[in-house]
Amino acid sequence: MIIIEQLTKVYDSADRAALDGVDLKIRDGEFVSIVGKSGSGKSTLLHLIGAIEKPTSGKITVDDFDLTTASDNDLSDYRSRKTGFVFQSFHLEPNFTVYDNVRLPLLIAGIPYGEHKERIEKILEKVDLSQKINDKASKLSGGEKQRCAIARALVCDPPLILADEPCGNLDSENSLKIMNLLKSINEEGKGVILITHDKEAARYAERIIELKDGRIINEIS
């Protein structure tokens, strides 16, 4: 369970708060879409849930783990074991192969070497990227890159997937594939928080939260 209380984030360079006293609860295994215009604070909210940034004030607890007071190392462990990130711009290492990109979280989490191959092959099969296992990430198409990023996010089997505009750089065919993949991940019991502009994509979620000027203005279940 993610509990967000009076969450506020003000950037040093900004003249107003990116998030302004947001209260929100997200159940385990829930698929939530966060929508809103550019600058509404949706990405900031995702970064705060993913412990990439720290809030100015307020509190976020994930399964009783307080992100606002945790140490840097504890937050790293939280990102490694509890969350998987999928970004619009993929954030793959272009010189690494698909196999090595997907392997990175396993190495960081300290998963035994013996399990790596099996886990990677299994997850690449799931995202339909087995044929590209030895290809460099820079050689992949946009859709393949995003599927590789999803495989990387899933390989450590985290309970929560944080997807920030995963279809933002993809055509409609690939967008559909990615959304179906996220849906199937959610159906396996993992929570998914999706940031999107696309109303069609948002409809895959059980709940849609709309943000404007750093505040929640609408919730549709």
Interface residue list for other proteins (CB under 8 A): 43, 47, 52-53, 72-73, 76-81, 83, 85, 87-89, 91, 93, 95-96, 100, 104-105, 107-110, 113, 152, 156
Task: Give strand ranges (E) for 174-214.
Answer: 191-196, 207-212
Nearer to other proteins, 89 or 172 (CB): 89
Query: Least distance in Å: CB of 94 to other proteins?
Result: 9
Query: Least distance in Å: CB of 207 to other proteins?
Result: 24
Query: Least distance in Å: CB of 72 to other proteins?
Result: 6
- Which token pair is 161? 């997937």
- Which string of DSSP letters, residue by residue, matches 43-71? HHHHHHHTTSS--SEEEEEETTEETTT--
Query: Least distance in Å: CB of 165 to other proteins?
Result: 8
Nearer to other proteins, 65 or 206 (CB): 65
Alpha carbons 155 and 149: distance in angstroms, whole number: 10
Nearer to other proteins, 77 or 206 (CB): 77
Nearer to other proteins, 112 or 189 (CB): 112
Query: Least distance in Å: CB of 221 to other proteins?
Result: 29
Nearer to other proteins, 68 or 80 (CB): 80
Query: Least distance in Å: CB of 47 to other proteins?
Result: 5
- Which token pair is 187? 């159906």
CB 88 within 8 A of CB 164: yes
Nearer to other proteins, 116 or 207 (CB): 116
Query: Least distance in Å: CB of 113 to other proteins?
Result: 7
Alpha carbons 42 and 40: distance in angstroms, whole number: 6
Alpha carbons 91 and 135: distance in angstroms, whole number: 16
Burial of 64 (0-12, 13-18, 19+ CB in 10 A): exposed
Nearer to other proteins, 72 or 118 (CB): 72
End-to-end CA distance of the chain: 17
* Chain Cα centroid distance, residue 100: 20
Q: How far is CA 31 from CA 96, 97, 98, 189, in A?
A: 31, 30, 27, 10
